[in-house]
Amino acid sequence: METQSRPPDIAFALVLFIFVVLMGATWFRHTDVGDAQLYQVIARHMLMRGEWFSMEYLGQPFFDHLPFGLWPIIAAQAVDERLVIPLHALFSVLTVGLVGVLGHRLSGPWAALASMFFLATTQMYFFQTSYPTLDPVLLLLTTASVLPVLTGPGTARQWLLAWLFAAMAVAVKGPFGLLPLGGVLGARVLVDRSWRHLGLGAVVFVLAAAPVLLFLALRPDWREGYGVGQLLASAVGNRSDGSAGLTVAAKFIGERFWPWFPLLFLGIAATTGRITWLRNNVHASRIVAVACGLMVLGLSLPHRKLWHHTLVVYPLLCVLLGVTLAPRISTVFSKRRLIIGLAAMATMSVLAVAGGVDRLLMARPCVLATDFTQEVHRLKAGERVLVISEHPEWDMLSALAFEFDVTPFRTSAWEEGSVALVAEASWSSAPPQWRALQRARGWVFAVNDSGQQ
């Protein structure tokens, strides 16, 4: 079958429709995604206090991330809290669109469509990127930052755009905002032997970090809390959470970049130029593959690693697949077959979401959203709720603070209070004035009959 000149416009619309439908599978108030709840609680209190640069969580200073990434959440909450998730979904739709622009400029319209399709249907991407975490806006900004450098001739305007988007990305999530730009600059130097990208790229790379470095210089509290307590501690292993090991980042991608991970081996093979049917734009494949490799290397260097850090590589991984496989896709699918196939997938996505596919994608909701619904809905805003357990219980705390606007306090010992959520292992030591109202799945909802406050 002859290669089609370009895919029909409706094919691009169908890919975006599929993505939005798949994202919608997880759109409900109780998320059990602790970070999403935590950030919304912090943003809510920043908005209430009229404070844009100081962050607190449950009464304690919060320095795990810079405040700038929460500004979109604050802006949405200022209008209506229900706009927060749609706003982050929009960020992710725009990222899929930018991936299409990258694919198009590197290898034409079929690469654009394929790149968009691969990202839109990667399970951990559509599953995570409508949540109000830092990742949706981070991926949008980092993808925008590499677009001028990866596909342009390097005009002053393109370097300025690369700097602007990278600087905003660094403000959202520190070094992760620089990682894609660094990977692409390194790839242009290694593959193209471009001294221009080495010299100007190094300048832009350093200047992109300058606004955040200036902020840290002016704010000793953030310099100590974020610079030392977060960045340095994560780099050298002073934080106990996360995983260690040089191969962990690659392992996370192998475990979660599905269903398309096996195709990455074709993308790598295409860089050799020795496989006849993968000889489409070998140069572009090499640049993107080297950029992805450098990004994975960068993710592997810090001692502390979390799986969602690797999301920043996903857009370029999908561009690599799109550039590599677009010629085969364009010869296998006529325009008619392409539209029928995408329409069928769109229909199946709608049916799957309507049928409750979220129950397969997500863990069973915690006891707050199931067994204890009557009890927790009687809580008053601002009420102090003990969470008694030997474990940190971050998700339980964030769910209570976000969904019920109470003030949870985790402790391993019994303290004064009127309401408590107690792990079963800690219930045996309950003082006699505490009475269990409900039990479920290892937890006890208890009240203090003495009325202590």
Residue 236 maps to a domain: yes
Whole-Å CA distances, 25 to 22, 248, 361: 5, 29, 9
Q: What is the pLDDT of residues 358-384, one digit of tens each?
A: 777 777 778 888 889 889 888 998 899
Model confidence at 399, in pLDDT bands (50, 70, 90)? Answer: confident
Q: Looking at residues 330-344, what average pLDDT do you find?
A: 91
Q: Looking at residues 120-136, what average pLDDT do you find?
A: 91
Q: Long-range pairs for 334-341 at CB < 8 Å and ≥24 separation?
A: 334/1, 334/4, 335/4, 335/7, 335/8, 335/11, 338/7, 338/8, 338/11, 339/8, 339/10, 339/11, 339/14
Concatenated DSSP letters for 297-319?
Answer: HHHHSSS-B-GGGGGGGHHHHHH
Tell me: do 277 and 391 sit in the same domain: no
Q: What is the pLDDT of residues 42-85, one digit of tens each?
A: 999 999 999 999 999 988 899 999 999 999 999 999 999 889 99
- Of residues 17 and 241, the one with the higher pLDDT is 17
- Of residues 417 and 29, the one with the higher pLDDT is 417
Tell me: do 177 and 144 sit in the same domain: yes
Concatenated DSSP letters for 165-177?
Answer: HHHHHHHHHGGGG
Q: What is the CA radius of gyration of the chain?
A: 24
Model confidence at 88, in pLDDT bands (50, 70, 90)? Answer: very high
Tell me: do 239 and 96 sit in the same domain: yes
Tell me: do 325 and 377 sit in the same domain: no
Is the pTM of the predicted complex or chain greater than 0.85? yes
Residue 2 maps to a domain: no
Query: What is the enclosing helix (H) or strand (E) of 11?
Result: helix 9-24
Tell me: do 34 and 118 sit in the same domain: yes
Residue 48 maps to a domain: yes
- Of residues 347 and 363, the one with the higher pLDDT is 347
The whole-number pLDDT of residue 31 equals: 64
Tell me: do 109 and 160 sit in the same domain: yes
Q: How many domains does the chain have?
A: 2
Whole-Å CA distances, 88 to 98, 137, 186, 283, 311: 15, 7, 30, 34, 15
Q: What's the rounded Cα separation, in Å, for the pair 276 and 293?
A: 23
Single out the residue in 360, 383, 399 at which a domain terminates: 360
Single out the residue in 291, 326, 360 at which a domain terminates: 360
Residue 453 maps to a domain: no
Range of the domain at 430: 367-448
The whole-number pLDDT of residue 4 equals: 57
Model confidence at 396, in pLDDT bands (50, 70, 90)? Answer: confident
Return the ∠ at Cα 251 (arms to 245 and 256), rounded to 5°: 140
Tell me: do 390 and 341 sit in the same domain: no
Q: What's the rounded Cα separation, in Å, for the pair 22 and 28?
A: 13
The whole-number pLDDT of residue 30 equals: 62
Parallel, antiparallel, or unpaired: how do β-strands 443-448 and 60-61 relate?
unpaired
Q: What's the rounded Cα separation, in Å, for the pair 417 and 179?
A: 47
Q: What's the rounded Cα separation, in Å, for the pair 147 and 133?
A: 23
Model confidence at 2, in pLDDT bands (50, 70, 90)? Answer: very low
Tell me: do 50 and 65 sit in the same domain: yes
Q: What is the pLDDT of residues 155-203, one digit of tens each?
A: 999 999 999 999 999 999 999 999 999 999 999 999 999 888 899 999 9
Strand order in the sheet with 434-440: 407-411, 384-388, 419-423, 443-448, 434-440
| Contacts of 172 by beta carbon, 8 Å cutoff, 6+ apart | 66, 68, 69, 134, 137, 138, 141
Q: What's the rounded Cα separation, in Å, for the pair 179 and 169?
A: 10
Tell me: do 152 and 282 sit in the same domain: yes
CA torsion sign, 121 to 143 to 211 to 68? negative
Q: Looking at residues 239-245, what average pLDDT do you find?
A: 84
Single out the residue in 299, 329, 360 at which a domain terminates: 360
Model confidence at 29, in pLDDT bands (50, 70, 90)? Answer: low
Share of the chain above pLDDT 90, in %: 68
Tell me: do 320 and 443 sit in the same domain: no
Q: Long-range pairs for 193-198 at CB < 8 Å and ≥24 separation?
A: 196/154, 197/149, 197/154
The whole-number pLDDT of residue 451 equals: 58
The whole-number pLDDT of residue 254 equals: 96
Query: What is the enclosing helix (H) or strand (E) of 289?
Result: helix 282-300
Q: What's the rounded Cα separation, in Å, for the pair 409 and 420?
A: 9
Mean pLDDT of the residues in the chain: 91
Residue 386 φ/ψ, nearest 5 degrees:
-75, 140
- Of residues 118 and 327, the one with the higher pLDDT is 118
Residue 355 has pLDDT above 80, yes or no: yes
Q: Looking at residues 132-146, what average pLDDT do you find?
A: 96
| Contacts of 51 by beta carbon, 8 Å cutoff, 6+ apart | none
Residue 247 maps to a domain: yes
- Nearest by Cα to 201 from 168, 152, 271: 152
Residue 3 maps to a domain: no
Residue entry with tokens 């991970």: 261
Residue 272 maps to a domain: yes
